[in-house]
Amino acid sequence: MGEKMKPLWSNWRKIGFGIMRWGADIVKPLLKDNQYWLIESVINDTELCVEKSITLKSIDASNLESLAKQQQIQAWCWDSKYYYFKAEDFNAVKSKDFIDRLKYIAERLDCDNFATLFSSIMAVIFGCNSCGVALGACLDKNTKKVIGYHAYNCLPLEKDGKVELWLCEPQNDYLAKAQKETDMGWAIYRTDLVIWR
């Protein structure tokens, strides 16, 4: 008898995700840019979740609130238990995610929409319900005067065995360790409230 024959569909996951991308490309001419990038984001995030086998850890609401209070940030926790990433897994997730490619549209797809969409995708695709929506003021880096108000994300990440809060700007993937006033590159974010839902 000869060699065992390799099954035709031995790489069925890659084929399946390829078909999904092909389908997205077929309908692309019918979609607005933001609709297409949302489809691409969901496909890429789902593929990453399946291929990388990301394992989440859990934290109870009182410990999550305690992390926020340490930074003088008010927290609203709507669940009793939250699931979070290791820092390296989250970095892989945000590097593959396409939300930052969506086009900002004032009053229609602006900061609060980016923050809630990113939070929802983390929960739906990865099971990470600890990607909270943060609300606060943007301060000028030189004068510390308020230049506007903003929504972004705040989440616990484990790095070197320690769980800490981090801020993530979903419009450009900027990530920084959370403080009451956090340098986020273009401005300082003064986080007043995080809603974990």
Q: Which of 180, 37, 187, 189 is nearest to 114 (CA)?
A: 37
CB 184 within 8 A of CB 174: yes
**Domain spans of the chain, in order of start:** 54-196
CB 135 within 8 A of CB 197: no
- pLDDT of 50: 85
Whether the predicted model's global pTM rises above the 0.85 cut: yes
Tens digit of each residue's pLDDT (9 = 90 or more) over 23-32 = 999 999 999 9
CB 193 within 8 A of CB 132: no
CB 182 within 8 A of CB 130: no
Band of residue 10 on the pLDDT scale cut at 50, 70, 90 = low
- pLDDT of 14: 86
Higher pLDDT, 12 or 114: 114
Q: Assign 30 to helix, strand or coil.
A: helix
Integer Cα distance of 60 and 75 in angstroms = 13
Q: Which CATH number fits domain 54-196: 3.40.50.720, 1.10.287.110, 1.10.3720.10, 3.30.460.70?
A: 3.30.460.70
